[in-house]
């Protein structure tokens, strides 16, 4: 076990030995491919070599034309012949001709020609011998490719590209709404994705923590605040305070309006208004609004006491958020926020905009007329009449500051599609200001709405409430199977983890831009494509692993040629495609790309159990099948971790979170179930 743990990743030499057994002299390797990380690269290189040798076509054209398939019945790789760009020959004829000319290959079967497509099916025996060890040796790094994020793949010493993922970004003393929930889940996933691709990722939370409302909050805290409550539940308490003080401020606004009406009515009648004027002034001067304005002014002017109070609210809220984020396997490198943006940055931006003629005065305010670039961008206000900054102004300052601080190669804003216009304006203004270099590196990742998200006690306000409700619901679902429920070690904790998976998977199941219904019954079901279903698939594999109780060596030295059943071969073909699914996900930036794959695999797994018994089979077969299932468990684990889920090993014991994704195997796949060798616990069926 030690030896394996230290041998980390699969090496090319090991591949060479395996391939030699199948009659290949060397490891086929086209430029910029990674056979030790992605076994399918071997097949692409090999098929390219074969095709080039019979056609004389440049391998540089053939290689990228070889595509992965949507379903395995279309082959493991497919070649749309028109992509070879051969002139003067009908593609369908060329397909047949190439198919006939191709020499016998040790790795792929003679191609199946379907019209203008050549479908390549991998031969099972070599595939199995390549893929299973590759997965077991690469472990939690299998499928990821840290080379993608290199500045220069030819010279790793030049370092990694840097990325900021800004996500979640809730507002202090305001509800954590569905938009924040989605941003948190999708942003967490994207950060993992790019880390898995070898980027240096900075996870940034950009809190809504500035503006007059924080003056309102401070005034409110004076009236209704409780020190004890604040420490106990800062987010909830500050929100309550804010709601109460806002109600007062609304009442006052109405009283002021009424008073003004009274005054104009008196004036119309030519009656004196002095007394009412006095009352109006008192209302205005002593009201929450004015106090808040003054308080916020003190904050802006850097008054230590005012800032101290506000900072405490902020710090306590962040502490609380941290705890909740960690339940979703999320941690931040930078808790930034609107308050952190320096006046200098905004002033410098304002100067540049003015100098470059980007901005103009309009009725006392400063605006940028973006209609000259595109009608839909409209006109954006960048400075209010009273000189105060706006959400947009702060974002302009933030983008410049972040670039100064991090020199990022890419920055992703994970924000609901309701803010499409805001971000489009931001990027265009940056460009117009002469910061095309920054604007070009920015990307808005948007997403649709969650419909009907409410807790049992009313409309959802906070992340914790949502998670609490889902946990309770999950617990109920678990209780419906009393026999299984009794085997669960820590039902509360298990319900919590499964509930979180339920929420996250539901969120990531569809394309980001689609709206979806928050459906508690559906998401907590163990049937259908849900989080609990995936968790179940993983726990079941762990259970088999525990029962089989085989060592790493026993698995790696298994006779893979015994895996000949259709179910086994199909499973291996699917496992082989995980690194390509990962690559494709980097392109789509869609968590659903991963989920569609994982569900397909989970289905293949569940239909395989009856055909591929492990415990109870004779020794050699048991070892080979267990190696297959260990590999499947690893891939499932890697995919779930990429999504930000905490895979359960058995009900009540959860794999520890916060493992980096892209680093070489810090976690041995065969020992990542710590109980592998010593325990044979009850099977966890749900």
Work out the number of other CB atoms within 10 angstroms of the CB of residue 19: 22
Task: Specify whether 180 is catalytic.
Answer: yes
**Smallest distance, Å, CB 684 to ligand ARG?**
40
Is the torsion defined by CA of 507, 419, 333, 174 positive or negative? negative
How does DSSP classify residue 72?
A: G
Q: Does 395 sit near ligand ARG (CB under 6 A)? A: yes
Taking CB under 6 A as the criterion, which residues in 208-227 touch ligand ARG?
Answer: 208
Segment lying near ligand ARG (by CB under 6 A), choices 166-174, 283-291, 326-334, 482-490: 166-174
Q: Alpha-carbon distance 171 to 182, whole Å?
A: 15
Q: Which is nearer to ligand ARG, 206 or 462 (CB)?
A: 206
Taking CB under 6 A as the criterion, which residues in 434-493 touch ligand ARG?
Answer: none
- Residue 507: CA count within 13 A, CB half-sphere: 25
**Smallest distance, Å, CB 655 to ligand ARG?**
31
Q: Does 535 sit near ligand ARG (CB under 6 A)? A: no
Segment lying near ligand ARG (by CB under 6 A), choices 164-172, 432-440, 456-464, 634-642: 164-172
**Smallest distance, Å, CB 168 to ligand ARG?**
9
Q: Alpha-carbon distance 381 to 365, whole Å?
A: 7
Catalytic residue among 161, 180, 428, 509, which? 180
Question: Is 50 within 8 Å of 64 (Cβ atoms)?
Answer: no
Residue 205's φ and ψ, nearest 5 degrees, are -110, 125
Q: Does 194 sit near ligand ARG (CB under 6 A)? A: no
Catalytic residue among 177, 259, 428, 509, which? 177
Using CB atoms within 10 A of its CB, is residue 273 exposed (0-12), middle (13-18) or buried (19+)? middle
**Smallest distance, Å, CB 642 to ligand ARG?**
24
Residue 645 token pair: 């889920």
**Smallest distance, Å, CB 368 to ligand ARG?**
16
Q: Which is nearer to ligand ARG, 208 or 499 (CB)?
A: 208
**Smallest distance, Å, CB 71 to ligand ARG?**
39
Catalytic residue among 8, 74, 123, 174, which? 174
**Smallest distance, Å, CB 126 to ligand ARG?**
50
Q: Give the three-class secondary structure for 535.
A: helix
Q: Which is nearer to ligand ARG, 181 or 575 (CB)?
A: 181
Q: Which is nearer to ligand ARG, 289 or 395 (CB)?
A: 395
Q: Which is nearer to ligand ARG, 184 or 494 (CB)?
A: 184
Q: Which is nearer to ligand ARG, 242 or 536 (CB)?
A: 242
Q: Alpha-carbon distance 447 to 11, whole Å?
A: 40
Q: In what order do the strands lie in the sheet with 410-414?
A: 334-337, 200-207, 162-166, 410-414, 442-445
Q: Which is nearer to ligand ARG, 66 or 415 (CB)?
A: 415
Residue 352 token pair: 């540049």
**Smallest distance, Å, CB 102 to ligand ARG?**
54
Instruction: Tell which one of 45, 169, 339, 535 touches ligand ARG (CB under 6 A).
Output: 169
Segment lying near ligand ARG (by CB under 6 A), choices 20-28, 165-173, 481-489, 508-516: 165-173
How does DSSP classify residue 106?
A: S
Q: What x-and-dash track marks residues 555-584 binding ligand ARG by CB under 6 A?
A: ------------------------------
From the list 490, 485, 414, the residue with the least C-alpha distance to 446 is 414
Question: Is 420 within 8 Å of 428 (Cβ atoms)?
Answer: no
Q: Alpha-carbon distance 397 to 661, whole Å?
A: 32
Q: Does 171 sit near ligand ARG (CB under 6 A)? A: yes
Please tell me the count of residues contacting ligand ARG according to CB under 6 A.
Answer: 8
Q: Does 10 sit near ligand ARG (CB under 6 A)? A: no
Q: Alpha-carbon distance 622 to 613, whole Å?
A: 8
Instruction: Tell which one of 63, 120, 403, 413 touches ligand ARG (CB under 6 A).
Output: 413
Q: Which is nearer to ligand ARG, 170 or 234 (CB)?
A: 170
Q: What x-and-dash track marks residues 500-519 binding ligand ARG by CB under 6 A?
A: --------------------
Q: Which is nearer to ligand ARG, 199 or 413 (CB)?
A: 413
Over 292-313, what HEC string results? HHHHHHHHHCCCHHHHHHHHHH
**Smallest distance, Å, CB 444 to ligand ARG?**
9
Task: Specify whether 174 is catalytic.
Answer: yes
Please give the full DSSP string across 33-65, using - where no structure is assigned.
Answer: --TTT-HHHHHHHHHHHHHHHHH---HHHHHHH
Instruction: Tell which one of 235, 280, 415, 430 touches ligand ARG (CB under 6 A).
Output: 415
From the list 537, 551, 539, the residue with the least C-alpha distance to 619 is 551
Task: Specify whether 444 is catalytic.
Answer: no
Q: Does 206 sit near ligand ARG (CB under 6 A)? A: yes
Q: Which is nearer to ligand ARG, 340 or 487 (CB)?
A: 340
From the list 9, 414, 40, 36, the residue with the least C-alpha distance to 193 is 414
Q: Alpha-carbon distance 68 to 121, whole Å?
A: 11
Over 540-605, what HEC string results? HHHHHHHHHCCCHHHHHCCCHHHCCCHHHHHHHHHHHCHHHHHHHHHHHCCHHHHHHHHHHHHHHH
Element (H, E) at 361: strand 359-362
From the list 658, 551, 538, the residue with the least C-alpha distance to 599 is 538
**Smallest distance, Å, CB 212 to ligand ARG?**
15
**102-114 burial, b if ≥16 CB within 10 A, otherwise e?**
beebebbeebebe
Residue of this chain nearest to ligand ARG (CB atom): 208
Q: Does 531 sit near ligand ARG (CB under 6 A)? A: no
Q: Which is nearer to ligand ARG, 166 or 590 (CB)?
A: 166
Taking CB under 6 A as the criterion, which residues in 336-365 touch ligand ARG?
Answer: none
Segment lying near ligand ARG (by CB under 6 A), choices 69-77, 132-140, 163-171, 427-435: 163-171
Q: Alpha-carbon distance 504 to 494, whole Å?
A: 15
Q: Alpha-carbon distance 111 to 588, whole Å?
A: 29
| Binding region for ligand ARG (CB under 6 A) | 166, 169, 171, 206, 208, 395, 413, 415
Catalytic residues: 174, 177, 180
């Amino acid at each position: 076990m030690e030896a394996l743990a230290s041998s980390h990743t699969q090496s090319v030499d090991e591949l060479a030995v395996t391939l030699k057994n199948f009659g290949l002299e060397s490891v086929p390797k086209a430029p910029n491919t990674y056979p030790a990380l992605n076994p399918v690269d071997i097949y692409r290189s090999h098929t390219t070599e074969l095709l080039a040798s019979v056609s004389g076509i440049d391998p540089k054209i053939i290689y990228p034309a070889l595509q992965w398939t949507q379903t395995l019945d279309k082959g493991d790789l497919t070649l749309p012949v028109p992509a070879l760009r051969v002139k003067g020959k009908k593609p369908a004829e060329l397909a047949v001709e190439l198919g006939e000319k191709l020499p016998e290959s040790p790795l792929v079967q003679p191609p199946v020609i379907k019209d203008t497509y050549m479908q390549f099916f991998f031969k099972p025996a070599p595939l199995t011998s390549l893929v299973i060890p590759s997965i077991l040796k690469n472990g939690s790094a299998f499928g990821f490719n840290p080379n993608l994020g290199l500045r220069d793949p030819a010279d790793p010493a030049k370092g990694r590209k840097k990325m900021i993922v800004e996500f979640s970004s809730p507002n202090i003393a305001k509800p954590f709404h569905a938009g924040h929930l989605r941003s948190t889940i999708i942003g967490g996933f994207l950060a993992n994705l790019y880390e898995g691709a070898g980027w240096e990722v900075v996870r940034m939370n950009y809190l809504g923590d500035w503006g007059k409302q924080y003056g309102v909050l401070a005034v409110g805290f004076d009236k209704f605040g409780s020190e004890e409550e604040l420490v106990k539940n800062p987010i909830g308490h500050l929100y309550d305070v804010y709601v109460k003080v806002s109600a007062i401020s609304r009442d006052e606004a109405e009283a002021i309006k009424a008073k003004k009406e009274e005054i104009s009515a008196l004036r119309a009648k030519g009656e004196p208004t002095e007394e009412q004027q006095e009352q109006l002034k008192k209302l205005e001067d002593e009201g929450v609004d004015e106090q808040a304005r003054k308080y916020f002014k003190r904050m802006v002017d850097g008054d230590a006491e005012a800032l101290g109070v506000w900072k405490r609210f902020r710090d306590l809220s962040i502490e609380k958020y941290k705890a909740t984020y960690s339940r979703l396997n999320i941690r931040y490198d930078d808790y930034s926020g609107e308050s952190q943006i320096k006046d200098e940055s905004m002033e410098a931006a304002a100067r540049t905009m003015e100098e470059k003629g980007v901005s103009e005065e309009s009725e006392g305010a400063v605006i940028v007329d973006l209609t000259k670039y595109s009608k839909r961008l409209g006109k954006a206000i960048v400075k209010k009449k009273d000189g105060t900054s706006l959400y947009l102004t702060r974002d302009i300052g933030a983008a410049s500051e972040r670039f100064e601080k991090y020199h990022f190669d890419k920055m992703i804003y994970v924000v609901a599609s309701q803010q499409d216009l805001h971000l489009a304006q931001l990027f265009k203004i940056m460009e117009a200001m002469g910061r095309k270099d920054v604007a070009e590196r920015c990307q808005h990742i948007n997403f649709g709405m969650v419909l009907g998200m409410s807790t049992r006690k009313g409309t959802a306000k906070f992340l914790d409430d949502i998670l609490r409700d889902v946990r309770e619901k999950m617990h109920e679902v678990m209780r419906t199977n009393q026999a299984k429920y009794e085997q669960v070690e820590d039902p509360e904790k298990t319900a919590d983890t499964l509930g979180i998976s339920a929420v996250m998977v539901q969120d990531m199941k569809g394309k980001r831009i689609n709206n979806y219904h928050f459906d508690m019954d559906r998401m907590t079901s163990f049937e259908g494509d849900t989080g609990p279903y995936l968790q179940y698939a993983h726990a079941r594999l762990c259970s088999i692993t525990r029962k089989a109780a085989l060592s790493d060596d026993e698995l790696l030295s298994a006779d893979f040629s015994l895996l000949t059943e259709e179910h086994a071969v199909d499973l291996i073909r699917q496992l082989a495609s995980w690194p390509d699914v990962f690559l494709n996900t980097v392109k789509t930036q869609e968590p659903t790309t991963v989920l569609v794959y994982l569900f397909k695999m989970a289905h293949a797994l569940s239909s395989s159990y009856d055909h591929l018994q492990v415990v109870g089979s004779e020794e050699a077969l048991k070892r080979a099948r267990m190696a297959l299932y260990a590999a499947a468990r690893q891939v499932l684990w890697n995919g779930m971790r990429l999504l930000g889920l905490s895979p359960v090993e058995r009900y009540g014991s959860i794999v520890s979170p916060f493992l980096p994704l892209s680093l070489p195997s810090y976690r041995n796949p065969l020992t990542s179930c710590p109980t592998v060798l010593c325990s044979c616990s009850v099977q966890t069926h749900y």
